[in-house]
Amino acid sequence: QLYNVAVLGATGAVGTKMLETLDKKNFPIKDLLLLSSKRSAGAEMEFQGKKYTVQEATPESFENIDIALFSAGGGVSKQLAPEAVKRGAVVVDNTSAYRMDPEVPLVVPEVNEEDIKSHNGIIANPNCSTIQMVAALKPIRDLFGMSRVIVSTYQAVSGAGNEALDELRAQSEAFLQGEDLKAELLPVTGEKKYYPIAFNALPQIDVFQENGYTFEEMKMINETKKIMHDDTVQVAATCVRLPFFTSHAESVYVEVDKSGVTVEQLKEAISNAEGVVLEDDPENQVYPTPLSAAGKPDVFVGRIRKDLDNDKGFHLWVVSDNLLKGAAWNSVQIAESLIKNNWLQK
């Protein structure tokens, strides 16, 4: 069976990866509709050798659509996802608009695929930095339990979209020419202050909340609890933007419930997990990096060490392509699961 698929935000950093992923997975598409905001409408794109003109998304765009992949910002999702659902489409939403809505499943298929079943037309794709962390923690938690996570992130500029990538390029060139750096976008569009990202590190991703954490940090905290169905797990996060293009890296400290667990047991658990690849051989300097993970759909884990003071504590280094497993790949996996399990009907 073939399905009518719409990609909203088709020209964006994630949208283009959605098309690449649909192609790579040979997704069963009958008709493909590429949608965007008014600004990008009219753009020409190619998919599997065929040319498409990107159309401005309206509520009527979703007539006859079976599956709609949304990645055009939270405001657009709030406005158009209910319209798409009203017209019979199932929406996989890659924005933060519905993630914490109790009626909307928040899914990383390797972790909580069954949650998709209870959807009411919308399934939320978690934040990229959350996805790779929970994918790496799932096999550990399943075998040894998990009481606490402390994460610090090293996040790529592509998480902030194509314009941020342009800003990094321009600033890097200016820096190397000894010119003044123009900062107009990062850390957050519309904020009071901008800082250069080139040759820098910005400890702010998204806006600050009243509790002093940024929204990105709160996403990691709240989404982890929701995906794992466990409000008691303690999570703390510090999210930092660094000047590279693709893949987020994370230093993750995890406390398991069981005593006496060994590094070897953790390595075995990770090796056996779906979608997670162990790259951990310190003797031969083997560990993942943002460059080595870029373009690949898996989550890579290395540098596994036991804490020197806490028998239940472990440190891991987790890296994944933020636009693939962190966004497009995970969304298309959800769409595949809807089909495979016959869960498209609400």
7 in Cβ contact with 33 (< 8 Å): yes
**Residue 77, interface with ligand 11C (CB under 6 A)?**
no
Whether the ω angle into residue 187 lies within 30 degrees of 0, i.e. cis, is yes
**How far is it, in rounded angstroms, from Cα 58 to Cα 190?**
26
In the bound complex, what is the minimum distance in angstroms from residue 313's beta carbon to ligand 11C? 26
Interaction between residue 129 and ligand 11C (CB under 6 A): yes
- Judged by CB under 6 A, the residue of 205, 227, 270, 301 near ligand 11C is 205
Distances (CA, A) of 258 to 15, 136, 146, 213, 344: 42, 18, 9, 30, 39
Q: For ligand 11C, which is the closer residue by CB, 141 or 219?
A: 219
Residue 273 is a binding residue for ligand 11C (CB under 6 A): no
Q: Does 160 bind ligand 11C (CB under 6 A)?
A: yes
* Encoded tokens for 281: 């051989």
CB of 219 to ligand 11C, least distance (A): 6
Max distance between CA atoms of the chain, in angstroms, equals 60
Which of the ranges 3-11, 127-135, 264-272, 297-305 carries the binding residues for ligand 11C, by CB under 6 A?
Answer: 127-135
**216 lines the binding site for ligand 11C (CB under 6 A):** yes
Examine residue 159 and tell whether it contacts ligand 11C (CB under 6 A): yes
Mapped onto helix, strand or coil, the DSSP state of residue 158 is: helix
**Crossing angle for the helix pair 215-227 and 128-144, nearest 10 degrees?**
40
Is 128 one of the annotated active-site residues of the chain?
A: yes
Do 127 and 216 meet the contact criterion of CB atoms below 8 Å apart? yes
Q: Which stretch binds ligand 11C (CB under 6 A): 36-44, 124-132, 221-229, 286-294?
A: 124-132
Contact call for residue 330 and ligand 11C (CB under 6 A): no
User: What's the min distance (Å) between Cβ of 159 and ligand 11C?
Assistant: 2
The one catalytic residue in 119, 128, 229, 239 is 128
Residue 119 annotated to the active site: no
**132 contributes a contact to ligand 11C by CB under 6 A:** no
User: φ, ψ for residue 89 (rounded to 5)?
Assistant: -85, 155
Catalytic residue among 119, 239, 248, 315: 248
List beta partners, residue 236: 150
Contacts of 176 (CB under 8 A, 6+ apart): none
Nearer to ligand 11C among residue 238 and residue 265 (C-beta): 238
Q: Is the dihedral of CA 201, 207, 213, 219 positive or negative?
A: negative
Chain residues binding ligand 11C by CB under 6 A are: 95-96, 127-129, 155, 159-160, 205, 216, 219, 322
